[in-house]
Amino acid sequence: MADINEGALGGRGPGKDPTVGELARQLPEQISRLVREELRLAQLEMTQKGKRAGIGAGMLGGGGVVALYGVAALLAGAILALTLVLPAWASALIVGGALLLVSAALAGLGRKRVQQAMPPVPQQTQASVEADVEEIKERVQR
């Protein structure tokens, strides 16, 4: 029994702590093992999150397709409702024209927003950095 304990303790007797040298020799191995295990854990976690994100993205896409069909059905209903008052061709023309007007308005607003965002350079930060550079140049010349 004493032989087993001494073997488990690296040849030391019971109750002896490892020396600083022994601990220093074990440190690189333990650090590399810890890093490998942490990387393995991170990889596993990212794989699980990626699967969940993929499933969620698929559900979002499916919901978008179903919503598109729903809008198409509502448009068909609007055309059919107008056929009670107008001929079918006129009803379709009115609904189509209204859709084109809405899409033109949205495209115009979107174009305006994109132009406001251009150029994609942080202009305020750029001006601030240029002012800082000028200030530093002035102070160096003094």
The pTM (predicted TM-score) of the whole model is: 0.51
Residue 132 has pLDDT above 90, yes or no: no
* Confidence at residue 11, expressed as pLDDT on a 0 to 100 scale: 54
What secondary structure, in 3-state letters, does the chain show? CHHHHHHHCCCCCCCCCCCHHHHHHHHHHHHHHHHHHHHHHHHHHHHHHHHHHHHHHHHHHHHHHHHHHHHHHHHHHHHHHHCCCCCHHHHHHHHHHHHHHHHHHHHHHHHHHHHHHCCCCCHHHHHHHHHHHHHHHHHHHC
* Confidence at residue 7, expressed as pLDDT on a 0 to 100 scale: 47
pLDDT, one tens digit per residue, over 31-72 is 888 888 888 888 888 888 889 889 999 999 999 999 999 999
